[in-house]
């Protein structure tokens, strides 16, 4: 970490979010995951934070990244994708690392199918942001910085 940076924020994205901006623009918008990464880096840099950005379609990779963050990151912004609604293991990883975690969903999951209304992650997240489009990631980074200071 350089003298001008305050710490690092992990921004995690779960399955299929690599397709952002490429498919289903009516639900998820036209911005790509690279655009989201740039938005997160800009928001974090305003407060002197760096961003580590990772997308994976594999539950274990996401869990390993959460574990590794315990000693290297100030907190996590995560869009767990469909694992939101299925993964006790991901929720256990989040509660296990004892870092502030902000859960983000691009779409308003509460306006969608009933199976998207429950999140295993929300019970262990510090904050939850839904339905703000890709700006939800910016709000997530800002909220995390608000919680950890600066």
Q: Restricting to residues 29-58, which ones interact with ligand CA2 according to CB under 6 A?
A: none
How far is Cα 66 from Cα 75, in angstroms, rounded to an integer? 9
Answer positive or negative: Cα dihedral of 95, 98, 100, 101. negative
Structure tokens, 71: 């000693």
Is position 2 annotated in a ligand binding site? no
Neighbour count for residue 7 (Cβ, 10 Å): 18
Task: Pick the closer one to ligand CA2 by CB: 7 or 136.
Answer: 136
**Bridge pairing between strands 127-130 and 101-105:** parallel
Binding string, 55-84, against ligand CA2, x = CB under 6 A? ------------------------x-xx-x
Q: Does 120 bind ligand CA2 (CB under 6 A)?
A: no
Q: Do residues 80 and 63 lie in contact, with contact meaning Cβ atoms separated by under 8 Å?
A: no
How far is Cα 93 from Cα 109, in angstroms, rounded to an integer? 22
Among 9, 10, 12, 17, binds ligand CA2 (CB under 6 A): 17
**49, 58, 105, 110: which is the annotated catalytic residue?**
105
Stated length of the chain: 150
Is position 41 annotated in a ligand binding site? no
Tell me which residues touch ligand CA2 (CB under 6 A): 16-17, 19-20, 23-24, 28, 79, 81-82, 84, 105-107, 109, 116
Give the residue numbers marked as catalytic. 28, 105
Residues of each annotated binding site for substrate: 79, 85, 92, 106-107, 116
């Amino acid at each position: 970490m350089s003298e001008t940076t305050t710490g690092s924020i992990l921004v995690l994205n779960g399955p299929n979010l690599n397709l952002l901006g490429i498919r289903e623009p009516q639900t998820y918008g036209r911005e790509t995951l690279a655009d989201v990464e740039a938005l997160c880096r800009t928001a974090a840099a305003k407060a002197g934070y760096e961003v580590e950005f990772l997308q994976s379609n594999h539950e274990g990779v996401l869990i390993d990244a959460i574990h590794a963050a315990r000693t290297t990151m100030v907190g996590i912004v995560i869009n767990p994708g469909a694992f939101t609604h299925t993964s006790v293991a991901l929720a256990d990883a989040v509660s296990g690392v004892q870092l502030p975690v902000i859960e983000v969903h691009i779409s308003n999951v509460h306006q969608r199918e009933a199976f998207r209304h429950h999140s295993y992650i929300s019970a262990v997240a510090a904050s939850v942001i839904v339905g703000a489009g890709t700006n939800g990631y910016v709000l997530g980074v800002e909220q995390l910085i608000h919680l950890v200071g600066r």
